[in-house]
């Protein structure tokens, strides 16, 4: 039974994050991540109230956390680099448009200003605790505001681990 637990721990820590190293949004692992978000009533990326479930049923956008155009211009010309599922979140169309091709260092700086002033520029979150909770709901590292092209690969590794944790918690709750 100890070996079974160790194998299970290895699966969650190593195999599942590795399985999330894909560009396929139809991957059963990415789909399970989305199901976990729906089960937990998670909100869309940077959304104050719109849930992943609502966006799944209607029209949410798959957004590149580190935008494709930015990555292409900064040393990541291959589809396999920028279209990693670990670089995808569901978000409202208006938020996707507001972010456009800005890197996280820029749009998260705008979010920080939004939290400080209450003047909306990206979505409707105006509370730092709510912003941190939203990032956690989306398995996005809290260090997002520091991510640029130089730290992109490390970001993907960290995000895959966080996504695997969300899937594990979902599985264990069943």
Q: What is the pLDDT of residues 54-109, one digit of tens each?
A: 998 887 899 999 999 999 999 999 999 999 999 999 999 999 999 999 999 999 99
- Helix (H) and strand (E) counts in the chain: 10, 2
Average pLDDT over residues 7-35: 85
Query: Residue 91's pLDDT is what?
Result: 95
Are the C-beta atoms of residues 150 and 73 closer than 8 Å to each other? no
pLDDT at 14: 66
pLDDT reading at 3 higher than 70: no
Asked if residues 95 and 122 have their Cβ atoms less than 8 Å apart, the reply is: yes
pTM for the full predicted model: 0.91
């Amino acid at each position: 039974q100890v070996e079974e637990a160790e194998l299970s721990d290895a699966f969650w820590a190593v195999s599942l994050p590795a399985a999330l190293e894909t560009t396929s949004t139809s991957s059963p692992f990415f789909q399970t991540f989305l199901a976990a978000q729906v089960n937990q009533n998670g909100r869309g990326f940077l959304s104050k109230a719109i849930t992943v479930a609502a966006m799944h049923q209607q029209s949410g956008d798959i957004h590149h956390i580190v935008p494709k155009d930015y990555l292409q211009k900064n040393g990541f010309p291959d589809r396999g680099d920028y279209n990693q599922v670990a670089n995808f979140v569901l978000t409202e169309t208006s938020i996707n448009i507001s972010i456009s091709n800005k890197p996280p260092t820029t749009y998260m700086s705008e979010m920080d200003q939004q939290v400080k002033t209450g003047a909306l520029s990206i979505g409707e979150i105006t509370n730092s605790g709510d912003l941190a909770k939203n990032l956690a709901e989306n398995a996005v590292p809290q260090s997002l505001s520091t991510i640029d092209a130089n730290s992109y690969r490390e970001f993907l590794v960290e995000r895959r681990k966080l996504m695997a944790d969300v899937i594990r918690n979902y599985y264990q709750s069943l």
